[in-house]
Chain A
Amino acid sequence: MSIVTVQLGQCGNQIGHEVFNTICGDVHGTHGLCSKKENKSYHDACKERFFSEEESEVPVARAVLVDMEPKVISQTLSTAARSGSWKYDDGSHFCQKQGSGNNWANGYSVHGPRHKEVIMNLVQKEAEKCDRLGGFFTIMSMAGGTGSGLGAFVTQCLRDAFPTSFILNHVIWPYGTGEVIVQNYNSVLTLSHLYQSSDALLVHENDVIHKICAQRMNIKQISFRDVNQVIAHQLGSVFQPAYAAEGGSQYSRNPLGDLMETLVPHPEFKMLGLRNIPQMPENSLAYSTFSWPGLIKHLRQMLIANAKMEEGIDWQVRPPCLGSSVSSSHSTNKPLHFNTSIANLVILRGKDVHSVDLGSFQDPSLYTCWLNPQDSFNAWKTPRAFNKYEKSTSLVSNSQFLLKPLDNVVGKAWNMFASKAYIHQYTKFGIEEEDFLDGFTTLEQIISSYTNL
């Protein structure tokens, strides 16, 4: 099954490009420390998933590029073509000239309806190229105007046009101190709208990735390209082919469906966080070895303590004791800082994956009580190493990972909303105060739901 990627706005297009680059680099770069046969299966599965074979010599990414100004798409298309190993379909993009001005209302209420037909035609074309459509993967930032506003509108259109397809929104959380002054407003509007049409939101926070670049990758002068490459690596570690079932003979054909099934049992809980270890500079890879028990131990503690990377983990945090007399749905009984999960997915790639013991992730005390313990946890594996890492493991988690960031964004947005600052910029394009209030209400509900796990 194939995934159609929709790249929205500057951020969406810049990240999308790095994702395809990473995936391509992974497939062609190494033999993956596995058998030739395994490698070929992996290669074929990856190709079917992300690329279409056309008359051109290089694989063509299954993607639609959308932006309201031309420079980024133009650069993205040409950089990809210059790589010589893959490219975008020359016709699969749409742009305008004036941009969205960081204005969610402009993106959603003006550009959306105005360009709906053209954009959905491009999506339809890409969807038809797939033998079997596995769903949509949209990439956008919450902070700006196009990715956020037009992105929310397009997601709604995708849902309307493809009611039975899976839609996963990859959402970039902006830096806490300023990229865009109205970023918190844009975020509230984006998240509340996406929640209605999307199946799940997979979140990356710029602050977190920036720290990884500084402390794990040792990059001195961190650029957005560096940040995007880490994000692309993390996404690749989730979406490159893997076996979803123990003893499976084929790479999973339905990654988005599998993801939703394992991680999103209830429509009120759609916020997914992502962790990937180990992370290090490429030139250190040859000198580092890791053991699976070590990696699993660290990953589990990162989950429990809500650590963003593999250093500075708080090892004092422990799961609550099971069998306590008070009902476990009461959040006050949980130890402080303990991150409660609804469901988790661990993905293992590389040497000796079949020997890995994942029992510690199946501990019921990690989870809320309303799912069967065996349904709360899943694992995907492949012996094929990813992106030059001899061993690599990722965690996709539906847990309280994003509770604090969400609460922060809503708090700041509410603070600004109380003064009515900037509201006139939104009402100018048809988003009224009531629309903001609806957004706040939706998000406060989500915060409350996750808090009371």
Chain B
Amino acid sequence: SRTGDDGLDIYKGKICSLKARALLIDMEEGVVNEILQGPLRDVFDSKQLITDVSGSGNNWAVGHKLYGCQYRENIVEKLRKTAEHCDCLQCFFIIHSMGGGTGSGLGTFILNLLEDEFPEVYRFVTSVYPSGEDDVITSPYNSVLAMKELNEHADCVLPIENESLFDIVNKIHQMINSGKLGSTVKQSSLVTSSASSAKNVQEKPFDAMNNIVANLLLNLTSSARFEGSLNMDLNEISMNLVPFPRLHYLVSSLTPLYTLADVNVPRRRLDQMFSDAFSRDHQLIQADPKHSLYLACALLVRGNVQVSDLRRNIERLKPSLHFVSWNQEGWKTGLCSIPPVGHSHSLLALANNTCVKPTFIALKDRFMKLYKKKAHLHHYLHIDGMEQSCFSEAISSLSDLIEEYNELDATKGGPRIDPGRLKIAV
């Protein structure tokens, strides 16, 4: 949104009167303070912050029940203020991690709140899932407790795993430093870069990893922000990719990861971009959609790509992919004319695919390992409003979800039974 009508919009080449439509919430101050002192300090202002000092101690119950209760009014008020500045509020993006206490607990509390206060507005959640070697011991508890909330209150979830982001960062790093590339890589095109160059990757790996997620969200909203011959809005993503309410977990991939400096892009390279979108190492979670079952797939292309390129590649890749029997041609496509900075074209693929199942099963297993021994439970149960049933309901919700994916997987490769059509008396 713009601040007042007076005052310069652009000063010294930088836009200085735009404010992010955002709330920054953390139960400790360090990260938010750093943002407010950094290059984006003018984009946020203090009215958009909610912070506390002591943090949530990696405890979902502290975040959800304790701080949730405490900050509810404050959060609602700030949300309403921000919503008032919108001519037409379509969607909330929630960005958080699952393994900790604030993002996970308070984050899912806010998810509930958004459904209560703004029931018509879509809720897209970008969730960073913990890896197996996560150093937060209670992350399985936090994640599973949060999953129940995501199951019930999110319209779409984009799961992200740090391992995948890390692998992508390393892959780029190796490509740049190995000297294998004939031409030089355009720095600004790196999916991991913003202002920092590749050299900084070693020092601040999370920045590079987070940039990938930022690019994901940019691509997701590109069609809403720029013109194109076939627009794809956020509500269309929700409509086309969520065939049943609880099956709303979308595996995402971004290509290309970088662009070479030569301008002429042969068709072969364009087609390579499509192939990469389906490869295991371009996914943002540890998953292999090619060998699992697709319920639906969306392709949002940006830049100098036309409908014939899209069709050619769908025809080419379709035979090697498995789609559920009732959605054999389940493709949603979008064409946005403006490519990302530094690229001539790019592709975001979103898959509703049973390949998320292993992530959820692993989560369940890590949860059960702790839960069987009742390890660390007391930290949770002594919080007001927290009971044993919260845990049993949460794991039950996750188990049900896994079972739904199992049932779908069981249909994979099976015989196609066409339901008999309506008969009309002649």
Contact = CB atoms under 8 A, between A and B. Distances in A.
Interface stretch (B123-131, B254-262, B331-339): B331-339
Contact of B244 (A225, A424, A444): A424
A180 B332 contact: yes
Contacts of B423: 444
A96 B243 CA distance: 26
B72 to A, nearest CB: 27
A424 B309 contact: no
B133 interface: no
Interface stretch (B75-83, B94-102, B206-214, B227-235): B227-235
A87 B346 CA distance: 34
Given A178-B329, A415-B326, A421-B244, A99 B307 contact: no
B296 interface: yes
Nearest to B227: A71
A96 to B, nearest CB: 7
B327 interface: yes
Nearest to A219: B308
A69 B231 contact: yes
Interface string B302-318: 00001111010011001
B245 interface: yes
A421 B327 contact: yes
Contacts of A102: 235-236, 239-240, 332
Interface in B46-65: none
Interface stretch (A50-58, A132-140, A406-414): A406-414
Contacts of B244: 421, 424
Given A415-B418, A425-B242, A448 B236 contact: no
B332 A416 contact: no
A214 interface: yes
A418 B419 contact: yes
Contacts of A118: none
Contacts of A145: 236, 239
B90 interface: yes
A178 B88 contact: no
Contacts of A444: 421-424
B87 A99 contact: no
B278 to A, nearest CB: 15
B240 A182 contact: yes
Q: Which of B296, B309, B422 has the most CB of A within 10 A?
A: B422
Contacts of A249: none
Interface in A183-237: 210, 213-214, 219-225, 227
A30 interface: no
Contacts of A175: 307, 311
A103 interface: yes
Nearest to A441: B422
Contacts of B242: 422, 425
Contacts of A219: 308
A71 B418 CA distance: 40
A181 B240 contact: yes
B306 A178 contact: no
Nearest to A96: B88
Contact of A10 (B230, B240, B241, B329): B230
Nearest to A440: B422
Contact of A71 (B231, B296, B326): B231
A72 interface: yes
Interface in A64-117: 69, 71-72, 75, 96-103
B162 interface: no
B118 to A, nearest CB: 13
A179 interface: yes
A333 interface: no
B327 A411 contact: no
Interface in B406-426: 418-419, 421-424, 426
A210 B308 contact: yes
B98 to A, nearest CB: 26
A412 B326 CA distance: 8
A99 B236 contact: yes
A102 B298 CA distance: 13
A445 interface: yes
A179 B88 contact: no
B243 A422 contact: yes
A14 interface: yes
B331 A99 contact: no
B422 A415 contact: no
A210 B308 CA distance: 8
Contacts of A179: 230, 331-333
A355 interface: no
Given A181-B331, A421-B244, A101 B307 contact: no
A221 B314 contact: no
A181 B327 contact: yes
Nearest to A10: B231
Nearest to A103: B239
A177 interface: yes
A215 B13 CA distance: 49
A430 interface: no
A195 to B, nearest CB: 15
Given A14-B229, A444-B422, A224 B335 contact: yes
Nearest to B87: A97
A293 interface: no
B330 interface: yes
Contacts of B238: 101
A421 B419 CA distance: 14
A177 B307 contact: no
A181 B330 contact: yes
Nearest to B307: A224
B229 A177 contact: no
A250 interface: no
B24 to A, nearest CB: 26
A225 B337 CA distance: 12
Contact of B235 (A101, A181, A225, A412): A101
A419 B231 contact: no
A99 B233 contact: yes
Contact of A69 (B233, B326, B327): B233
Nearest to A223: B306
Interface string A411-439: 11011101101101100000000000000
A214 B311 CA distance: 12
Interface core residue of B227, B239, B423 (most chain A CB under 10 Å)? B239
A220 B331 CA distance: 23
Contacts of B335: 224
Interface string A116-145: 000000000000000000000000000001
Given A101-B235, A222-B307, A223-B307, 13 more contacts: A72-B227, A97-B88, A98-B90, A98-B233, A99-B235, A178-B332, A210-B311, A221-B308, A410-B421, A414-B419, A415-B326, A415-B418, A421-B243
14 contacts: A98-B233, A99-B235, A99-B236, A101-B235, A178-B330, A210-B308, A222-B307, A222-B308, A224-B306, A415-B418, A418-B326, A419-B326, A421-B244, A444-B424
Closest 6 CB pairs of A and B: A178-B331, A101-B235, A97-B88, A222-B308, A418-B419, A421-B243
